[in-house]
């Protein structure tokens, strides 16, 4: 843990999100002492059966229904929020509660599921802002719950999953996307995920996906766009370090390779 914090300091990072679950209490204590800003997130990832279906090649089911994410799911989620706030509310490093990562927020029933959880969080802690990490399938026009958030947290992979291999298309695409959120909501925007998978040691002259140069070019392109959007107040590259994931998918080569550090 100490080594990780030193690496963050070395590369000039001042904050992180606890994706996709609350971290150990020692992490928050260390962040308190060293002035690191933390977005504290519940262990709620996967409320999006369209993503699951796409990855596994299955028929997409509605995410929110009596047979999928139902009242029992909502109560378990509520209990996770109660425990999170009770444990971490006295840490000065914690500045915002993230209630979910990439829920299916373009499904109409998501509001019925999420609105009571937002109200619960505000009741438990009226002092901190609330957010959730939005995924690209729910854009500014189709999202049903972003008005409930105090800060818009966006996960976007232009040049990676979108406009793969074409930064000429990715740059205006990302800018148009962010301007649409700024125009509709006029709220602070934090880029909670962006970047690209890279295989260490793979080099290329042009914009070749998986090369080290392409990853660097995507980060440069993204930051140029962020600097042009007034409402963008922060950014978290995805992610700190590469990590193991199931490697049976064609887009995973021995894990998730988007890390700043290998």
* Nearest C-alpha neighbor of 122 from the set 103, 149, 140, 101: 149
175 is a catalytic site residue: no
> Within a 10 A sphere around the Cβ of 243, how many other Cβ atoms?
11
- Residue 193 known to be catalytic: yes
Backbone angles phi, psi at 84, to 5 degrees: -65, -50
Catalytic residue among 135, 171, 193, 242: 193
Strand partners, 190: 153, 234
Considering only CA atoms, which of 138, 141, 143 is closest in space to residue 155? 138
- Residue 91 CA: distances (Å) to CA of 33, 73, 84: 10, 28, 12
Largest Cα–Cα separation, the chain: 54
Q: What angle do CA 131, 187, 80 make, to 5 degrees?
A: 5
Query: Strand 232-235's sheet: what is its strand order?
Result: 15-17, 37-41, 94-101, 130-134, 152-155, 189-193, 232-235
Pair 135, 156: CB distance under 8 Å: no
DSSP letter (8 states) at residue 98? E
Spatial separation of the C-alpha atoms in residues 98 and 106, rounded to whole Å: 18
From 102, 107, 135, 242, active-site residue: 102
- Which residues are identified as catalytic? 102, 193
């Amino acid at each position: 843990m100490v080594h990780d914090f030193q690496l963050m300091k070395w590369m000039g990072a001042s904050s992180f999100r606890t994706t996709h679950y609350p971290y150990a209490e020692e992490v928050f204590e260390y962040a308190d002492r060293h002035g690191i800003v933390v977005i504290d997130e519940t262990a709620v990832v996967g409320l999006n059966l369209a993503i699951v279906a796409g990855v596994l090649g299955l028929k997409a089911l509605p995410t929110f229904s009596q047979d999928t994410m139902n009242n029992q799911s909502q109560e378990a989620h509520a209990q996770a929020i109660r425990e999170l706030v009770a444990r971490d509310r006295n840490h000065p490093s914690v500045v915002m509660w993230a209630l979910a990562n990439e829920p299916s927020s373009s499904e109409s029933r998501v509001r019925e599921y999420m609105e009571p959880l937002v109200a619960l969080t505000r009741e438990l802690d009226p002092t901190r802002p609330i957010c959730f990490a939005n995924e690209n399938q729910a854009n500014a026009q189709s999202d049903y719950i972003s008005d409930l958030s105090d800060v818009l947290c966006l996960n976007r992979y232009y040049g990676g999953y979108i406009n793969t291999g074409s930064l000429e298309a990715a740059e205006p695409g990302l800018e148009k996307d962010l301007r649409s959120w700024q125009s509709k909501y006029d709220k602070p925007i934090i880029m909670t995920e962006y970047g690209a998978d890279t295989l260490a040691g793979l080099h290329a002259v042009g914009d070749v996906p998986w090369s080290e140069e392409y990853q660097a070019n995507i980060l440069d392109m993204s930051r140029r766009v962020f600097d042009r959007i007034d409402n963008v107040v922060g950014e978290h590259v995805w992610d700190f370090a590469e990590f193991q994931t199931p490697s049976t998918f064609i887009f995973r080569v021995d894990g998730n390779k988007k890390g700043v550090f290998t």
